[in-house]
Amino acid sequence: MNIGILEKELNEIDESIKKLRLREKVVIKSSNSVVVKKGNGVYQYYYRDGLGNLTYIPSRNNNYAKELVQRDYYNKLMDKLQEQKSILEKFIKRYEENPIDAVYEKFCKGRQILIEPLRPIEQEFVNQWLDEHPGNQNPFEKRGTYLTNRGEYVRSKSEKILADLFYQIGIPYQYEASYVLYNGKICYPDFILLNKRDRKTFYWEHFGLASDKDYSETNLEKLLRYEKSGLVLGDNLIVSFESAGISFDVKLIEEKIKTYLL
């Protein structure tokens, strides 16, 4: 489960509650409630006062019925939002990101060596994943000129920014690992990454000349080949762009990292 999605939903609920409180200040203040009846295919509206008396609201005064019903809607919506807020806050507070590893790690080393974990613990899995996806496989002669914080060379400044972000956040990645396409040809996506929580593999392509027509057409063909090979945008393929008129947007990159990789 992506706890970041729940935190985002909680923030959206908080924003909705703020908006609702502002609107509640201007709704009608009355103890009367609306009663709706239908006759001959036409809705008729009445209001019931505090004594239980029912009074018909003529069509010329339908705004009064509308105000009462709008008030009821806001009240019920506020109750529901507060309920969901409370549920999410309690869940997020008690949620444990990796309970399977957490149970294993609570045992002392002497006991751990006697245990066969339900699945490889996180670091063992990460090491195995890195071994299975070696990086720097692209045979292209020109070596990158930008040194990343992890100590490898990449081919562009934007790729360095991406690599350093992955490294800083703690996302396992390899640069230019090989990938076999549907037609048997081998390509080298910019990055292959691991979502440690879901243990899911993602590929990341950065398009640095999106405004160039020939470059764009070539990479649209690349995306089509990826899709035919099982790499699908929004599922296991992430892309980022920049062009002459659009600079590298680090905040947008961080949002994608949070959505897919954390």
pLDDT in tens, 140-199: 877 778 999 999 999 999 999 999 999 999 999 999 999 999 999 999 999 999 999 889
Q: What is the pTM of this model?
A: 0.63
Q: Is 207 exposed, middle or buried (0-12, 13-18, 19+ CB in 10 A)?
A: buried
Confidence of residue 211 (pLDDT cuts 50, 70, 90): low
Sign of CA dihedral 176, 182, 186, 187: negative
- Map 138-197 to HEC letters: CCCCCCCCEECCCCCEECCHHHHHHHHHHHHHCCCEEECCCEECCCCCEECCCEEEEECC
Per the CB < 8 A criterion, the answer to whether 194 and 172 are in contact is: yes
DSSP conformation class of 33: E
Give the pLDDT of residue 213.
Answer: 61
Confidence of residue 215 (pLDDT cuts 50, 70, 90): low
Which three-class secondary structure state does DSSP give residue 250? Answer: helix
Amino acid at 202: F
Confidence of residue 209 (pLDDT cuts 50, 70, 90): low
Residue 2 has pLDDT above 70, yes or no: no
Q: Which of 5-9, 72-76, 100-104 has the highest mean pLDDT?
A: 72-76
Give the pLDDT of residue 210.
Answer: 54
The domains found in the chain, sorted by start residue, are 3-94 (1.10.287), 133-261 (3.40.1350)
